[in-house]
Amino acid sequence: MSTHTQRKINSICSEAAYEWLQNWINEQHPGAYPGTPLNYFYRNTAHREYKSRFLESVILKVCNAKGGRARKPADKGRSIDTSRIVTNVLGQQKKIGGRVFVKNNDVRVGSADIEWIYNSKVVNWEVKIGSDKQSTAQIAEELRAIKNKELYFLVKTVDEFIEIYLDRF
């Protein structure tokens, strides 16, 4: 593991949490050659959202292994290529246009990053890294979830997730 990757992961995962994840992986795959948390969970360290995606993948895999159904709501959309190749009067070809991102119509604004249905309860996990804060739509969604007797957790590190997970589930 490179020093850069270590620095990235250390900001959201202590050594104790990393060790817990390593032991958890070994329990999931007994007798197999154990993987490391860096290889088992989200791996694209060059991605700008690496830390949040790593934490989301930890939550998804641990929750799905526990039972129930954990998933990321479809909140993205799709990217459409609107580029085309044109030829000028000299016969030279040039690509013009680009990609356009179109959001889905059925997106619930402010929905939690991960929804886990476990023991007939809905558990919402919102992932925020560093100094990120909830938007007003996310705060409204949290209040809606609590009003409907759903569980809602705001998680900033792997350590926080493990603490809540071991304490509540």
Average pLDDT over residues 20-44: 77
56 and 113 part of one domain: yes
Count of structural domains, the chain: 2
Name which of 135, 132, 139, 136 is nearest 155 in CA terms. 132
Residue-level pLDDT at 19: 86
Residue-level pLDDT at 42: 72
45 and 91 part of one domain: no
Residue-level pLDDT at 48: 66
Residue-level pLDDT at 149: 93
On the question of pLDDT at 46 being above 70, the answer is: no
pLDDT digits (tens, 9 = 90+) for 119-143: 889 999 999 988 889 999 899 999 9
120 and 55 part of one domain: yes
Name which of 84, 79, 109 is nearest 94 in CA terms. 84
86 and 11 part of one domain: no
142 and 84 part of one domain: no
30 and 44 part of one domain: yes
129 and 119 part of one domain: yes
Terminal alpha carbon distance of the chain:
32
95 and 19 part of one domain: no
Token readout for 68 is 């129930």
Token readout for 43 is 């791996």
101 and 26 part of one domain: no
Token readout for 89 is 């009067």
- Residue 6's pLDDT band (boundaries 50, 70, 90)? low
pLDDT digits (tens, 9 = 90+) for 137-169: 899 999 999 999 999 999 999 999 999 999 988
Distance of alpha carbon 143 from alpha carbon 152, whole angstroms: 9
pLDDT digits (tens, 9 = 90+) for 101-125: 777 777 777 888 899 999 889 999 9
pLDDT digits (tens, 9 = 90+) for 48-100: 677 888 899 899 989 998 888 888 877 666 778 888 888 988 889 988 888 88
Q: Which CATH number does the domain housing residue 131 bear?
A: 3.40.1350.10
Structural domain for 123, as ranges = 3-73+108-168
Domain termination residue (choose one: 92, 107, 122)? 107
3-class DSSP string for 51-100: HHHHHHHHHHHHHHHHCCEEECCCCCEEEEECCEEEECCCCCEEEECCEE
Which runs of consecutive H residues, i.e. helices, occur in the chain? 3-10, 15-28, 37-40, 50-66, 136-147, 158-168
Distance of alpha carbon 60 from alpha carbon 123, whole angstroms: 12
Contact call for residues 61 and 21 (beta carbons, < 8 A) = no
On the question of pLDDT at 5 being above 60, the answer is: no
